[in-house]
Structure 1
């Protein structure tokens, strides 16, 4: 699995996922809030299947020197 979620995108996914789960657990939003588990997982693992499907990535590009090491 190649990382395709990076930086700010990753942090926002983790925060949004946690907030969504907490709101669902406290009954403030419906059970659909547990979709936050998927959002949280994509942030924690730095991988989004939808990004792969559409050929999208928010990870910074690596330079040639970084690729060699």
Structure 2
């Protein structure tokens, strides 16, 4: 089994969060996969952004606000 740290991107409304998680690679058909803890972390970040609690999301991930650019 190999493990690799990657950034997953979550977008909710005007916010984007970069969440660091660990993917596990193996020879079975479900690879790569997340641990239960990392999957819960993604869900927690998504839920906090959905509620508008950016401070709580920022404790788990890097959070950015999207701003429209008009050309």
TM-score by length of 1: 0.30
Report the structure, 1 or 2, having the larger strand content.
2
More helix by percentage:
1
